[in-house]
Chains A and B, each alone.
Chain A
Amino acid sequence: MKKIIADREIDVNEEGYLVDFNQWDKDVCAYLAEEQGISMTEKHWEVVEYLQDKFQKEEPLSIRGIKKSGVINIKEFYSLFPGGPLKKSTLIAGIPKPKSCI
């Protein structure tokens, strides 16, 4: 389905995750963050870049991975993206929701 994000038509799935990462940019990111009640700080951007890097290398994302990332500890991760940090941060980063369904 389509959604208007930052004055553009973006393809998203039922849960609002971007379907095509190529449509992502910083404006889209900030818009999605705001929808989640988050205003982006430098630390947020750092996390988003880390997540996108992992995604591009096809490495699975997990809370354990965050712990070892060296970018952020888990307490901070929760305070930056309150509620569901992994779910919210991936949505904002324009990458698929991690499936820890195995």
Chain B
Amino acid sequence: MMKNLVILGAGTSGTMMANHLVSSLPKKEWKISIVDQYKTHYYQPGFLFLPFDIYTTKQVKKKGSKFLPKDVNYIQEKIDLIEPENNKVCLANGKELSYDVLIVATGTKTVPEEIEGMKGPKWYKNIFDFYTYEGAKALRDKFRTWEGGKLVVHITEMPIKCPVAPLEFAFLADSYFKNKGMRDKVDITFVTPLDGAFTKPRATEALHYLLEEKNIKEVTSFNIERVDYENNKIIDYGDTEVEYDLLVTVPTNMGDPLLERSGLGDDLNYIPTNKATLQSIDHENIFAIGDATNIPASKAGSVAHFEAEILTENILRYINNEELKEDFDGHANCFIETGGGKALLIDFNYTTEPVEGTFPFPGVGPLRLLKESRMNHMGKLAFRWIYWNMLLKGVPIPFVDAKMSEKGKQLEKTQ
């Protein structure tokens, strides 16, 4: 009898898994299905560039089914419930899918409703997010005619998808308003719940000059309690207030409500997952990947890419009754736009702080870690092509390994 592998979510992780598994599972024994309610696949890193008219809307969205292999059963439908004790998934149209192995790749979403006053009458008037297509586009339209004032770039709480994006946003805003000849009319403040602007202490130390250079003010350890949208200020639990004319916030990120409905999520609806094997903690035939997990790695496409290779191997091991490999090390690498056509590249994992050095070739580069360069910026822009044409399809990216390489880097362990 045919066995069923079901993937929930056809975003970055789900699409990569479908492509990996279609070529590694025996076709005669396994049927692969993938479920997603949306037709459109967004290039989410592009949302950072959309507000500044660097990317067009067309560059960040495509039809999702284009990236799925033909031999995979693609179901465009909302998912109602996962029933782990019956090994089945219930869809909103009343149909049921039985599974032998389930992969949860339902990602993370922004939930502005978590903070009082955020998604109120001023939402998309002078309070915006840029983590959704709608938010990024609305903000682009706002920026085109904005005459200046206090711009506050704000993170609500951690963890968030792509932890450095808010800072990149502040850097790009600095460039954007400089180019428009109105930087003197815009006051930029970066507000974070962390005790530094960067999420890792090593990077904070090495990169603090960027904030000074760009005249971006910083408010740290700010845990927001509410948005006072009538008086245009955000207020934290310690009663600190920050005034804004334009608030660009990253709302609370949470896993899909499906996980809460199915009793599979933690406080933030993320699925408890073994951080080295990617098997769910509570059910041996449920695996999780990407932003949907609770593992202490960055929520980012590069992490999902590294996870996908290891998860593919572990699924093959699981169905062959072999021991799972404890192989995932939390590897992430990401470009950080610093504005003015330059970018930084950082590379880190569970135990190693972002390091200086060169990448991907030790001692050669061409990309330099933790140093601003034009080449890194080109790399970031080129990544959009890599994403659509290689990454989603599971084509290995040359010279970049799932496990972090320690060659050519000046390492420093985290405590």
The residues of A with any CB-CB pair to B shorter than 8 Å are 13, 60, 62-65, 68, 74-75, 77-78, 82-85, 87, 96, 99-102
Does B194 have its Cβ within 8 Å of any Cβ on chain A? yes
Known A-B contacts A62-B158, A63-B157, A84-B195; the reply to A101 vs B200 at CB < 8 A is yes
**What are the residues of chain A within 8 A of B238 when measuring CB–CB?**
78, 82-83, 85
**What are the residues of chain B within 8 A of A77 when measuring CB–CB?**
237
Mask of B151-177 contacts with A, CB within 8 angstroms, 1/0: 000000111000100000000000000
User: Please, which residue of chain A has its CB at the minimum distance from the CB of B236?
Assistant: A78
Cβ of B194 and Cβ of A100 under 8 Å apart? yes
Mask of B174-218 contacts with A, CB within 8 angstroms, 1/0: 000000000000000000011100011100000000000000000
Cβ of B415 and Cβ of A100 under 8 Å apart? no
The CA-CA distance from A97 to B96 in the complex, in Å, is 46
Does B25 have its Cβ within 8 Å of any Cβ on chain A? no
CB<8 Å pairs between A and B, sample of 10 = A64-B267, A77-B237, A83-B238, A85-B238, A96-B415, A100-B194, A101-B199, A102-B296, A102-B297, A102-B299
Mask of B259-282 contacts with A, CB within 8 angstroms, 1/0: 000000001100000000000000
Partner of B415, one of A13, A65, A74: A13
The CA-CA distance from A101 to B198 in the complex, in Å, is 8
Known A-B contacts A64-B157, A87-B195; the reply to A74 vs B296 at CB < 8 A is no
The CA-CA distance from A50 to B349 in the complex, in Å, is 29
The CA-CA distance from A13 to B297 in the complex, in Å, is 24
**What are the residues of chain B within 8 A of A78 when measuring CB–CB?**
237-238
The CA-CA distance from A101 to B297 in the complex, in Å, is 9
The CA-CA distance from A74 to B223 in the complex, in Å, is 10
**What are the residues of chain B within 8 A of A84 when measuring CB–CB?**
195, 221
**What are the residues of chain A within 8 A of B237 when measuring CB–CB?**
63, 74-75, 77-78, 85
Report the minimal beta-carbon distance from B304 to chain A, rounded to whole angstroms. 14
The CA-CA distance from A101 to B195 in the complex, in Å, is 10
The CA-CA distance from A68 to B221 in the complex, in Å, is 20
**What are the residues of chain A within 8 A of B201 when measuring CB–CB?**
101
The CA-CA distance from A60 to B296 in the complex, in Å, is 10
Q: A74-B223, A74-B237 are in contact. List 20 more A-B contacts (CB 8 A).
A: A62-B158, A63-B193, A63-B223, A63-B237, A64-B267, A64-B268, A68-B267, A78-B238, A85-B238, A87-B195, A99-B296, A100-B158, A101-B163, A101-B194, A101-B200, A101-B201, A102-B158, A102-B159, A102-B163, A102-B298
**What are the residues of chain A within 8 A of B298 when measuring CB–CB?**
102
With most chain B CB atoms within 10 A of its CB, the pick from A62, A82, A85 is A62
The CA-CA distance from A99 to B195 in the complex, in Å, is 10
The CA-CA distance from A63 to B194 in the complex, in Å, is 11
Report the minimal beta-carbon distance from B179 to chain A, rounded to whole angstroms. 32
Partner of A74, one of B163, B195, B225: B225
**What are the residues of chain B within 8 A of A74 when measuring CB–CB?**
223, 225, 237
User: Please, which residue of chain B has its CB at the minimum distance from the CB of A101?
Assistant: B199
**What are the residues of chain B within 8 A of A99 when measuring CB–CB?**
296
**What are the residues of chain B within 8 A of A62 when measuring CB–CB?**
157-158
Known A-B contacts A13-B415, A84-B221; the reply to A100 vs B297 at CB < 8 A is no
The CA-CA distance from A20 to B137 in the complex, in Å, is 50
The 3 closest A-B pairs by CB, nearest first: A100-B158, A101-B199, A102-B159
**What are the residues of chain A within 8 A of B158 when measuring CB–CB?**
62, 100-102
The CA-CA distance from A82 to B240 in the complex, in Å, is 12
User: Please, which residue of chain B has its CB at the minimum distance from the CB of A84?
Assistant: B221
Report the minimal beta-carbon distance from B68 to chain A, rounded to whole angstroms. 30
User: Please, which residue of chain B has its CB at the minimum distance from the CB of A14?
Assistant: B415
**What are the residues of chain B within 8 A of A101 when measuring CB–CB?**
158, 163, 194, 199-201
The CA-CA distance from A78 to B225 in the complex, in Å, is 12
**What are the residues of chain A within 8 A of B159 when measuring CB–CB?**
100, 102
